Structure 1
Amino acid sequence: MASETHAVDEMFPAPRLLTLGLQHVLVMYAGAVAVPLIIGRALKLPPEDVAFLISADLFVCGLATFCQSFGFRGVGIRLPIMMGVTFASVGPMLSMAASPEIGILGIYGSVIAAGLFGILVAPFVSRLLPLFPPVVTGTIILVIGVSLMRVAINWAGGGLPTVTKVVDGTPGLFPNPAYAQPLGLAIAAFVLCAILALIRFGSGFVANIAVLLGIVAGAILSALLGLMHFDKVATASWFSLITPLHFGVPEFHLVPVVTMCIVMLVVMIESLGMFLALGDITGKPIAQADLTRGLRADGVGTLLGGLFNTFPYTSFSQNVGLVGVTGVKSRRVTVTGGAIMIVLGLLPKIAALVEAIPQPVLGGAGIVMFGMVAATGARILTGVDFRTNRFNLYVVAISIGFGMIPMVSPAFFHSLPDVLHPLLESGILMAAVASVALNVFFNGIGDAEEARAHSAAAAASAEHV
């Protein structure tokens, strides 16, 4: 007699699959397109190239989701997971983007190397879980959110407070007269208030996509005010293939490669927590081999990202939270969501429309998105024992201090060799290294089973927007 189908493998009629899959896409869409927008604009790419980055990102989101949810031999945990670009990679990539020696080709080289690294080390990473108890993971996620907040604030201001100008043949930084104009600030505030109202008074599906609806409302207001232009949307084609190595042959630089491999390690540890939490939510036992396949899918997704002109990939926690909220546990739903993402990636008009959204609109949404990342870290830290273990206070305090150095004083390490700057200018990586080292120094290495339980509990609480 055939065994009963587990809820994870349940199949639904096509209309329901499409509806539930679209819901997963809408929940993650704002976060999925945020990273290519950040990096594309940091690289000062023309609008059509930024739009291409968005299309490539959506396309690889779908491919990576297939690898993770549908799976194939040795790859994919086969749980209801949506994959998207990790925010943990933004800080290091912004530093690389600012370096003329590295640039976009150096970024892609480091992403490809990180993907290969992830594939190779996947069987061993779960053994490192005791190095990442909640006091470490909570601190790292808190610093990620705080570090990214400056991006959201500058978005709300409509750009950067200073611009580079050449005066008498010499480049220099000058105040940006267009920065933080009242109309732009009003639009950012409108988007923020719209999102908060939807979260407060909306329910269910509406509350889940509050960020996306807030961005749509801000875009409509901007268009009515004449601040959103559709020239590039009109000229963009309806269909275009995503070609690999669109910007050229990737370049491999030692420090960026090492930096991105460290980011990959942090991302994989976070994924372990997501897998364990999702196993509890779906009632599916998670074995060591399952964790290895899931982590290997992170590496494959990141490798595909580097080859197809995008960035490192991880499991999106907001979609893990959506599984818990809706009670729909079937991985067929997220596979359908992955198919929808691939189709969206092949429609350049959609990407051009997203790229046309004014920065103040994204700023209002970014304050919510990145703030929720920081709040997730704080929530994880609420489960840490600070009362009887005073050492944990020092782990958090000093690690946050290290993480804030690049943001508070960008020139702090200017006297050190340039080759180290991509590493030292990432507050996220500095906080990660400091928190792991300090935790081992003060608390030693914990028990693996206890770390698994703590990581699953922390991930279950990490349902940020």
Structure 2
Amino acid sequence: MKSEKISAWKMFLLGFQHVCVMYGGAVAVPLIVASAIGLSQQQLVYLISFDLFTCGVASLLQVAGGKHIGIKLPALMGVSFVVVQPVIAIGSIYSIQGVIGAVLVSGIVVTIAAQFFSKILKYFPPVITASVVLIIGVSLMPVAINNAAGGAGSKDFGSITNLSLALFTLVFFIILNTLARGYLKAISILVSMIVGTVVAAFFGVVDFTQVKEASWFHMVQPFFFGMPTFQWSSIITMTIVAIIIMVESTGSFFALGEVSNRKLTDHDIKKGLRAEGIGAVISGVFNNFNHSAFAQNVGLVAITGITNRFVIMNAGIILIVLGLFPKVAAIAVIIPKAVLGGAMVPMFGMLISTALRMMAKVDFTKPSNQMIVAVGVGLAIGTHAVEHAFDELPKTVGMLVKNGVIIGTFAAFILNIVLNGVNKAAAEERPEMDQTNHTLEQTV
């Protein structure tokens, strides 16, 4: 099927299918972040538009590439879920401008670090990557429950209507994801949110005002929310997040290489991560966050067997076009928070499930690995639950230590070096290959 000639119409439909598969995940990040950092509904509409636009640009940069950038594999780029909790932490203190400034700098760091990243990978064995994924999943779950109850601060928080809508969406997703096959299974999150919103409309909790008021067309504007600001704590936070995303994307690259029967070299990985860094800089300029190669689209490539990268180019163009029409973005805004919360539970829960599967490959007969997970995950959960414990610290220091993802990752990283060292066997066994095997297992 890889070598089969595909007509322009089929190419468009295949590209659109990739957009449908990633759309729910792509718009979920701005939907989660916006209310948490105090953006208005109108600002959220534009944030989603910028999200779609930058996803398209980052995908084209990655897939079309050039001599020194781009993996040139069917890798669709989307805003990574890894950014959610750190962006909320930064945005709550320094607003969206602080987030954008940190994204810009982290993109520059990734672009430079791509040259040396193959040497850094040995410091991120599975025990660390699994711990980080577990920390992210656990720290995001309260966001899901808050939304399921109607959104923190809402007048009807915890109402029977909100909880019922969240439960309906969750149960519908579980049934659909269990019974459906192929394409319908791949977009089960999106379908469950659509059905949940339709049901919510009968309860009178769907507001179409933003769709009516949103403009049909809007040229994407650099620094729409204002000029970026730069704080050391925010920059350090997003840089660490960007490094985690580099590991995540590297795993997806190797998975795509496996599916495409292409053996990737260190140079290929450098080009792919360099494109990711440049994409983050562009994303910062156009008011959005860091991207990674979406794992669900890697799964779609494996299921269909179509590895033609022009399909992803079509998907990238579709995303750019969608990003220019705020009315399309506004449709996502009408999803009630309770429905969104119901869909978030399995989305974030799957991160926990993924982490546990990764943990299964870690040698827990070694007390050092037990200690790494115990302290790293334990500190992350504790600081996330009692973040006010650090209010007396200087602002910059407090920003770092009260972020569960950052403090947990740092603790696991340091403990791994102290307790395990960097032995040659671990260095030769690439952690991204462990990620590759996991991604491929998900597609079986």
TM range (shorter): over 0.9
Aligned residue number for residue 283 of structure 2: 305
Within the candidate set 341, 347, 357, 1:363 is matched to: 341
- SS in structure 2 opposite 1:412? helix
Q: Is the 8 A contact 1:111 1:260 kept in 2?
A: yes
Cα shift readout 1:286-334 (whole Å, capped 9, x = no counterpart)? 1111100000111011111110011111111111122222222221111
How does 1:54-65 map onto structure 2 within 5 Å?
Answer: 54-65=48-59
Which one of 396, 413, 420 corresponds to residue 397 of structure 2?
420
TM-score by length of structure 2 reads 0.95
Name the counterpart of 2:438.
461
Q: Which residue of 2 aligns with 1:172?
A: none
**Residue pair 2:122, 2:430 contacting (<8 A) in 1 also:** no
Deviation at 1:446, TM superposition (A): 3.6
Deviation at 1:339, TM superposition (A): 1.1
Structure 1 unaligned blocks of 5 or more: 1-5, 164-175
Deviation per CA, 1:189-209, whole angstroms, max 9, x where unpaired? 111011111111111111111
Q: Deviations over 1:201-246 (max 9, x none)?
A: 1111111110000000011111122110111211212221111111
Equivalent pairs counted in the alignment come to 442
- Distance in 2 separating the partners of 1:462 and 1:229: 38
Write out per-residue CA displacement over residues 363-406 of structure 1, whole angstroms, 9 at most, x where no aligned residue: 0110011111121111111111113x232111111110111123
Task: Choose 275-284 or 364-373, whichever is displaced more.
Answer: 275-284
Question: How far apart are the structure 1 equivalents of 2:127 and 2:332?
Answer: 37
Aligned with residue 394 of structure 1, among 351, 371, 374: 371
**1:264 Cα offset (Å):** 1.0
2:416 is aligned with 1:439 = yes
Q: Which has the higher helix share?
A: 2
Q: Quick one: which of 207, 210, 213 aligns to 1:235?
A: 213
Check 1:11–1:82 CA distance in 2 against 1; reply closer, same or farther (3 A cut): farther
Change (3 A) 1:308 1:85: same
Partner of 1:320: 298
User: What corresponds to 1:40 in structure 2?
Assistant: 34
2:352 and 2:257 mapped to 1: Cα distance? Answer: 25
1:453 CA drift (Å) = 4.2
Structure 2 residue 129 is the aligned partner of structure 1 residue 126? no
Deviation at 1:61, TM superposition (A): 0.4
8 Å CA contact 1:92, 1:425 repeated in 2:
no
> Which amino acid counterpart does residue 61 of structure 1 have in structure 2?
C
Evaluate the alpha carbon distance shift between residue 111 and residue 36 of structure 1 in structure 2; reply closer, same or farther with a 3 A threshold.
same
AA at the equivalent of 1:402: L
Q: 1:451 to 1:140 in 2, by over 3 A?
A: farther
CA distance in 1, matches of 2:424, 2:308: 32
SS at match of 2:75: coil
Q: Any residues of structure 2 matched to 1:18-417 within 5 Å, and which?
A: 18-99=12-93, 102-160=94-152, 163=153, 177-387=155-365, 389-417=366-394
Q: Is the 8 A contact 1:376 1:462 kept in 2?
A: no
Q: Secondary structure at the match of 1:84?
A: strand
Change (3 A) 1:449 1:431: closer
Distance in 1 of aligned mates of 2:11 and 2:329 = 24
Distance 2:331 2:425 in 1: 47
CA distance in 1, matches of 2:393, 2:68: 43
Q: Which residue identity is paired with 1:236? A: A
* Structure 2: 5+ residue stretches without partners: none
- Measure the CA separation in 2 of the matches of 1:398 and 1:252: 31
1:35, 1:384 → 2: CA distance?
30
Q: Is the 8 A contact 1:92 1:423 kept in 2?
A: no
Displacement of 1:451 in angstroms is 4.8
SS of the residue aligned with 2:78? strand
After TM superposition, give the deviation of residue 407 of structure 1 in Å.
2.2
What RMSD, in angstroms, separates the aligned Cα atoms of the two structures?
Answer: 1.8
Q: How far apart in 1 are the matches of 2:4 and 2:29?
A: 33
* Maintained 8 Å contact 1:192/1:365: yes
For the 8 Å contact 2:19–2:319, the answer to whether it is kept is yes
Check whether the contact 1:69–1:76 (CA below 8 A) recurs between aligned residues. Answer: yes
Instruction: Read off the aligned partner of 2:269 and give its amino acid letter.
Output: L
- Deviation, structure 1 residue 10: 6.7
> Structure 1 length as normaliser, TM-score?
0.91
Please say if residues 210 and 333 of structure 2, whose CA atoms lie closer than 8 Å, have aligned partners that are also in contact. no
Report the counterpart of residue 170 of structure 1 in structure 2.
Answer: none
SS in 1 for 2:292: strand
SS of the equivalent of 1:411 reads: helix
Q: Distance in 1 between matches of 2:4 and 2:237?
A: 40
Query: In the TM superposition, what whole-angstrom CA distance separates every residue of 1:4-57 from its partner, at most 9, and x where no partner exists?
Result: xx94x8752112212211121111111111111122112222211100000000
CA distance in 1, matches of 2:302, 2:417: 33
